[in-house]
Amino acid sequence: MSRKRREKRDPQQRRAEILAAAFALFAERGFAATRMEDVAARAGIAKGTVYLHFPDKERLFTELASGVASPILGEIEELARNEATPPRAALSMFYALFRRDVLETERRHLLRLILAEGPIFPGVAEFYHREIISRGLGVLRILLARAASRGDLRNPAIAEVPQLVIAPALTSIIWTTLFERYEHLDTGKLFDVFLDTLFLPEGDAR
Amino acid sequence: MSRKRREKRDPQQRRAEILAAAFALFAERGFAATRMEDVAARAGIAKGTVYLHFPDKERLFTELASGVASPILGEIEELARNEATPPRAALSMFYALFRRDVLETERRHLLRLILAEGPIFPGVAEFYHREIISRGLGVLRILLARAASRGDLRNPAIAEVPQLVIAPALTSIIWTTLFERYEHLDTGKLFDVFLDTLFLPEGDAR
Amino acid sequence: MSRKRREKRDPQQRRAEILAAAFALFAERGFAATRMEDVAARAGIAKGTVYLHFPDKERLFTELASGVASPILGEIEELARNEATPPRAALSMFYALFRRDVLETERRHLLRLILAEGPIFPGVAEFYHREIISRGLGVLRILLARAASRGDLRNPAIAEVPQLVIAPALTSIIWTTLFERYEHLDTGKLFDVFLDTLFLPEGDAR
Amino acid sequence: MSRKRREKRDPQQRRAEILAAAFALFAERGFAATRMEDVAARAGIAKGTVYLHFPDKERLFTELASGVASPILGEIEELARNEATPPRAALSMFYALFRRDVLETERRHLLRLILAEGPIFPGVAEFYHREIISRGLGVLRILLARAASRGDLRNPAIAEVPQLVIAPALTSIIWTTLFERYEHLDTGKLFDVFLDTLFLPEGDAR
DNA sequence: CATGAATGAGGATTCATTCAT
DNA sequence: TATGAATGAATCCTCATTCAT
């Protein structure tokens, strides 16, 4: 009896295809509303095959959430390490990378997903805090401290609450995924105005 | 077979109890993972009784989402209307009310809920933009414009991107619902430092 | 607290109103698809009130089915008792009464209902057999025997299978309630042609 | 937890088994009183499996109602087409086939089902008229016309009301499903006497 | 490895019936 | 008596997961 049977594939590639399909669907519909069958269909494979790569739906989600961590962080850490880079330039670069690699790609939905489903999957939130947020805040603290010591900041206390620097980024994610269709937000301006608020104009010593 | 007591109640009160129960559960688990039976149980009534007040789960959710809109907005609009109120005091009050009425109540889960279910219930996102976000930004624009014209702002351009003022609030919600258990965030300081960054120190004219 | 409360009514009349409402709905939708609440609404009373008159839905149905027995039977029995009435005239009268009192009134649905739901409510079928069918066949046997002995019948054996005389009546019920909308049936002709088939032309002796 | 054996089966056969189970239950209890779970149990499969073959209960019913159309009709149409067959023999064969294939099988409940659910599923009644009744009457008209032209009929007008020929069949169904337990009906005799009433004795020219 | 038919626990919704007012 | 809010058993349908092929 002839049976349709896909070519065997490199497991890593197959796995990636499943993750990609799952990502698209989770992002669009959320965790609960996504059916494993749809993930399989979108990946072009049979239902059962998904289970050869992921033990269950929850693990598919958490591996997805953990796996797409952006390389932005690495680039920023490098920038920050180089003391020659002016802090404002580093932050500016951070926002630019964020826009290019997250906000303007499908990855922005991933962040929404984590924010949305995070509390239900504590492992995911924990992973995000440890791998992304904590490291990011670390870099920001260094950058802001350096900026403060250079006298670049309008309010040096900012260095104590680096979450404020993340705020516009989170807000841009939320806005673009939820409200953009009702009212446009110019994210470039958002970040620029924010930087202008944080930093004293160049050559302006107080 | 023992039968629970039938307690008749004022319909408005009963309805409010159901909404409260539903809110707690939706906020905790999300839409899909909340069972109508649990809502009923938490409201202290039988399964069928929920359906005397809401035609189905979806309507329970959407009425809920529309109903918990905070009265903060009204208070702020009033403050802003009064030209005697210094803009910074108004914003300070806004954050204080936000902390008291949202961040420190179960209402803080609302944003997450909208973030999670928004794509599935577009009406909810639309409602939030129209009734909350849009009105909120309107008030902020007025306040910021007034502050700018008074020379209170370090960077008057802020008035053009009032979303920046909302950003710390959104961030505080996300932090407290997702990461607070891993790392504490002092939201009072968050808002204070932000205001200090926005506004020139009192009596400081540029 | 003022409470809407219908005038007290003659219980017999109230009961009749409920039966009428139930009849209309059962006839239209069948037993299962009829809700007690709709019966009450149609009778202009509250849900609970129905239960003051009928212990449950099944009894409402069976009392209905038993209660609307037509007075046709009595009239026919009287006709048959009178030996002066020619058998053919008696049968002709029977069909005429059937058309006027059943086929062309809402009662035709009642019959359909009994045929349809009968096997599920054996009490109803039993009642119908005992009170209607059995008595009807009794009369028919007498009439057909008399006709046979008078030499009126083309096939005297008919007297042994009086169900044949009921057949066109049942068929007319089924046709008018199920197929009339797709293809018209002239029931007057149906019965006339049938009588012409049963009986020899007048004055024709074999 | 013991798990029943998963038996894979030819889809066509599985489908047929489900239809058979559903038919038995619908016929016995009617549409509303039949539970999908019982259908599955009777077919020897799990609840969910039914839904792999039919999208919902309604479709199961309507496909069923359309599917059990008897092959009788085809056989009769063939008989009628052959002009050599004496009309009386053809009708006799029709009743014989009807007894064998409908009256003495579970199919006899079909009429009751249509009678009961017709108003709720108008498509079913329409289907029956179009596919069964209309075609059947067509054949009967041809047969009766031929019989009339050959001078076989006691009353040639019968050809104008072929429903009369169906009447004993319908009556036999109703009797056997409703009243047989209270009073026996000899259906063989029913049809024979009817044919003797319709047709002149052989060799008897009027 | 891959398939997809089969499974059955789970959850939304309905509605006959009850009973406090 | 009459009311209608409240109850909860009953039933349809979904979908994550399994496993024979």
A contacts of B118 (beta carbons < 8 Å): 177-178
Q: Which residues of C touch D185 (CB under 8 A)?
A: 163
Q: What is the pLDDT of residues B177-195, one digit of tens each?
A: 999 999 999 999 999 999 9
Q: Closest residue by Cα to the C1' atom of nucleotide F1?
A: C8
pLDDT value of residue A115: 83
pLDDT of amino acid B109:
87
Query: Chain C contact for D195, CB < 8 A?
Result: no
Residues of D in contact with C117 (CB under 8 A): 30, 116
The per-residue pLDDT of chain D, averaged, comes to 89
Find the nucleotide nearest B44 (Cα to C1′). Answer: F6
| CA–CA separation, D200 and A33 (whole Å) | 73
Q: What is the pLDDT at residue B28?
A: 87
Helix/strand/coil for D5: coil
Domain spans of chain C? 11-65, 68-198
CATH architecture of C11-65: Orthogonal Bundle (1.10)
In the predicted structure, residue C102 carries a pLDDT above the cut 70 = yes
Whether B197 sits inside 8 A of A29 (CB atoms) is no
Residue B40 contacts residue B126 (beta carbons within 8 Å)? no
Please report the pLDDT score of residue B114 as a whole number. Answer: 85
d(CA B10, CA B16): 10
Residue predicted with more confidence, C145 or B115: C145
CATH class (in words) of the domain with range D11-66:
mainly alpha
Most confident among A52-56, C12-16, D11-15 (mean pLDDT): A52-56
Q: Tell me the three state secondary structure of residue B153.
A: strand
Rg for chain D (alpha carbons), in Å?
A: 20
- Mean pLDDT across the stretch D144-158? 95
How high is the pLDDT of residue C72?
79
Please name the member of B125, B174, B182 whose beta carbon is closest to the beta carbon of A178: B125
pLDDT per residue as tens digits for the range B141-152: 999 999 999 999
Q: Which pair of structure tokens corresponds to residue C88?
A: 């053919």
Residue D36 burial by CB count (10 A; 0-12/13-18/19+): exposed, middle or buried? middle
Do D and C make contact via 3 or more CB pairs under 8 A? The reply is yes
C30·D33 Cβ contact <8 A: no
CA within 13 Å, CB half, D43: 28
Banded pLDDT at A68 (limits 50, 70, 90): low
Give residue A69's pLDDT. 66
Lowest mean pLDDT among A109-118, B155-164, D18-27: A109-118
Q: What is the model's pLDDT at position A203?
A: 64
Q: Is A134 on the interface with B (CB under 8 A)?
A: yes
> Is there a contact between A163 and B171 if contact means CB atoms under 8 Å apart?
yes
Given a cut of 90, whether residue A86 has pLDDT beyond it is yes
How many C-beta atoms lie closer than 10 Å to residue A142's C-beta?
18
A7 has pLDDT over 80: no
Name residue A198's amino acid: L
Q: Which chain A residues contact residue B112 at CB under 8 A?
A: 115-116, 118-119
Q: What does pLDDT average to over chain B?
A: 89
For D32 and E16, how far is CA from C1' in angstroms? 15
Of A32, A170, A183, the CB nearest to B129: A183
| Closest nucleotide C1' to the C-alpha of B43 | F6
Chains C and D form CB pairs within 8 A to the count of 151
Straight-line distance from the first to the last Cα atom of chain A, in angstroms, rounded to the nearest whole number = 84
Of the candidates D201, D94, D88, D102, the residue with the CA atom closest to the CA atom of residue D137? D94
Residue D107, token pair as written in the block: 């199919």
| Interface membership of D35 toward C (CB under 8 Å) | no
CB B40 within 8 A of CB B49: yes
C183 interaction partners in chain D (CB closer than 8 Å): 129, 133-134
Q: Does A187 touch chain B (CB under 8 A)?
A: no
Q: Please give the DSSP secondary-structure letter assigned to residue C56.
A: S
User: C153 versus A115: which is more confidently predicted?
Assistant: C153
Flag whether pLDDT at B70 surpasses 80.
Answer: no
B174 contact A CB<8A: yes
Q: What's the pLDDT score for residue B2? A: 40
Question: Has residue D32 got a pLDDT over 70?
Answer: yes
Q: Does B125 touch chain A (CB under 8 A)?
A: yes
C5 CB-near residues (< 8 Å, 6+ apart)? none
CB atoms D197 and C158 under 8 Å: yes
Protein-to-nucleotide distance from the CA of B15 to the C1' of F3, whole angstroms: 21
Residues of D in contact with C178 (CB under 8 A): 114-115, 118, 125, 128-129
**Measured between CA atoms, how close is B141 to chain A, in angstroms?**
14
**Any chain B CB within 8 A of the CB of A170?**
yes
The Cα C53–Cα C47 span in angstroms is: 11
Q: Give the nucleotide nearest to D37 (CA→C1').
A: F11
- Strand nucleotide closest to residue C51 (CA to C1'): E17
The pLDDT score that the predictor gives to residue A109 is 87
DSSP string of D18-80, one letter each residue: HHHHHHHHHHHH-STT--HHHHHHHHTS-HHHHHHH-SSHHHHHHHHHHHT--THHHHHHHHH
Sign of CA dihedral A85, A90, A96, A99: positive
Token pair 């066509």 in the structure block, residue: D12
Of A193 and D83, the one with more pLDDT: A193
Which residues contact residue B172 at a Cβ distance below 8 angstroms, ignoring those fewer than 6 apart?
A: B99, B103, B185, B187, B190, B191
Higher pLDDT, A117 or A156: A156
Of A106-120, B4-18, B161-175, D77-91, minimum mean pLDDT range: B4-18
Interatomic CA distance for residues B182 and A123, integer angstroms = 12
Of all nucleotides, the one whose C1′ comes closest to residue C47's CA is F4
Nearest to A190 among B32, B161, B183 (CB): B161
| Residue D28: pLDDT over 90 | no
B112 touches A at CB < 8 Å:
yes
Q: Do chains C and A touch (3 or more CB pairs under 8 A)?
A: no
What pLDDT score was predicted for residue C3? 46
Residue type, D56: D
D115 in C contact zone (CB under 8 Å): yes
Residues of B in Cβ contact (< 8 Å) with A129: 178-179, 182-183
Give the pLDDT of residue B1.
37
Quick check: C173 and C111 in contact, CB under 8 A?
A: yes
Asked if C29 and D116 touch (Cβ cutoff 8 Å), the reply is: no
pLDDT at residue D19, rounded to an integer = 95
CA distance C56 to B166: 61
Give the integer Cα–Cα distance in Å for D31 and D106.
16
